[in-house]
Structure 1
């Protein structure tokens, strides 16, 4: 069985103009990403400010991405919530609109046991019958998918991948020892660890910074011999992006490239002018270094 993708997937931002979704900016960015070797696009995830989007906006964003993509790369849609039935309905709508796969985050606020995680994920997967990427991000949900739970879930024919945002390489190694990695893919959810993740056998990344530097990020995956060297300037840019939580910094960088205005929706707020200037200088320094 082949994986949904290998290499760099991008967690797509939602560009806004005057607090409305900028659908033309989405179209422009989809083409930019594909022209620059992105291997998959993840729609309506954390980086897309998913909780601030209406159901209608989510559906329209997905329609726009699928139409512009024209089957060039796999489209994965974030449909997971802490409400199983709502997640099923969102997943079925995504399937009807033409999504290639869905991504399911661990339930948040209404936390559950490992047994509850199994029941939740399998109910959605079995109802939707699309490939499923599970999303383990304990820093945001205060919940984690334990190794044995994932091994159990991997036996479901629809659950085929994990976005691993734990940054825990002991966890990663244990998963590798217990999963069939010909059938199940492991994707990093952390831009800053991809060199080690790839060197230790990871299949790819679902990236934030690839919204603006897609070709360079995919090159890290492809260029085995010079990964660490090529990653150094990216690491410096990522350090500058720690000025605030995702997706606040990447939305600013994307606006510099013309993908929407620099807007986020409450409760997120934009960087102040000083922070914007520091991040802009770091981004310009990165681009000058790459071009020199």
Structure 2
């Protein structure tokens, strides 16, 4: 199976206005991202506040994304949950809408064993006709997909890759050794993408690229041919990337998407906006970064 994408994918935020989906801002944001070189749009994931979206809202966002992308870049739907039946139902609906791929997080709270993970992901993969990315983010789910389990799942014809948000390069190396290059490996961490690519990763599913798409596209391209140039971009972006850790994702980055005009600065409870002084400092840092390259 060929890779769903190679390069920079964006875990897209969901803009709200008075706690409703702001469809027009979402469309404009997607166009901005594609115009600035991103290679994929990931919808209804963690950054998109998928856990607090209704089923109707998830469908609305996917329909807008598929229509707006128009085949220019793949649209990947976050359809995973801690219920296998619910994951299958969401995946089938996303397939019917016309997405290009699915991303499935590991079950959380109830969790499972490694045998359970194989059974869970296999059940979803058997039910659909789309490529699937596994999503390993133990800091949020409380469990990990072992390299051996990744290897076993990679044998399924519909399981095409892994989003690795562990920041563990030993883990990446083990997975790389146990899978072939047809199995795509994407970093889930903006701050460590450069070493991830150096170890053989195929791209990044980025939070920061919501507001820095061209910069991350350039970092990826430079990493293929000019490590010193890529490293220069990394260190130029790093202070902002570090500042985006001021609170739980996507609280900080939505302050910046709102600053760019893509919706109001709203997040859904239990998330709450940044304190105003923190928000203002983040915006000033962002504006300073943009001024450097203009």
**Shorter-normalised TM range:** over 0.9
Question: In the alignment, what sits opposite 2:43?
Answer: 43
Question: In the alignment, what sits opposite 2:59?
Answer: 59
Report how far residue 284 of structure 1 moved: 1.2
Aligned: 1:111 with 2:111 = yes
Question: In the alignment, what sits opposite 1:219?
Answer: 218
Report how far residue 245 of structure 1 moved: 1.0
Aligned: 1:184 with 2:183 = yes
In 1, distance between residues paired with 2:105 and 2:245? 23
Provide the aligned length of Structure 1 versus Structure 2. 290
Question: In the alignment, what sits opposite 1:144?
Answer: 144
- 1:112-163 CA-to-partner distances (Å, cap 9, x unmatched) read 0000000000000110121000000000000100011010000000001000
Question: In the alignment, what sits opposite 1:197?
Answer: 196
Conservation of the 8 A alpha-carbon contact between 1:190 and 1:205: yes
Question: In the alignment, what sits opposite 2:241?
Answer: 238
- 1:200-232 CA-to-partner distances (Å, cap 9, x unmatched) read 111000000000110110110101311101111
SS of 2:42's equivalent in the other structure is strand
In 2, distance between residues paired with 1:267 and 1:28? 27
- 1:239-287 CA-to-partner distances (Å, cap 9, x unmatched) read 1111111000010000011000000000000001111111111111111
Residues 154-173 of structure 1 mapped to structure 2, 5 A cutoff: 154-173=154-173
TM-score normalised to the size of structure 2?
0.97
Question: In the alignment, what sits opposite 2:135?
Answer: 135
Ranges in structure 1 where 5+ consecutive residues have no aligned partner: none
Report how far residue 290 of structure 1 moved: 2.2
SS of 1:103's equivalent in the other structure is strand
Q: Tell me which stretches of 4 or more aligned residues in structure 1 moved more than 6 Å.
A: none
SS of 1:111's equivalent in the other structure is coil
In 1, distance between residues paired with 2:86 and 2:79? 9
In 2, distance between residues paired with 1:99 and 1:110? 28
Conservation of the 8 A alpha-carbon contact between 1:163 and 1:187: yes
SS of 2:293's equivalent in the other structure is helix
SS of 1:268's equivalent in the other structure is coil
In 1, distance between residues paired with 2:36 and 2:248? 26
In 2, distance between residues paired with 1:266 and 1:234? 29
Aligned: 1:228 with 2:228 = no
Question: In the alignment, what sits opposite 2:208?
Answer: 209
| Alignment RMSD (CA, Å) | 0.7
In 1, distance between residues paired with 2:141 and 2:273? 23
Question: In the alignment, what sits opposite 2:12?
Answer: 12
Aligned: 1:81 with 2:84 = no
TM-score normalised to the size of structure 1?
0.98
Report how far residue 233 of structure 1 moved: 1.6
- 1:182-201 CA-to-partner distances (Å, cap 9, x unmatched) read x1000000000011111111
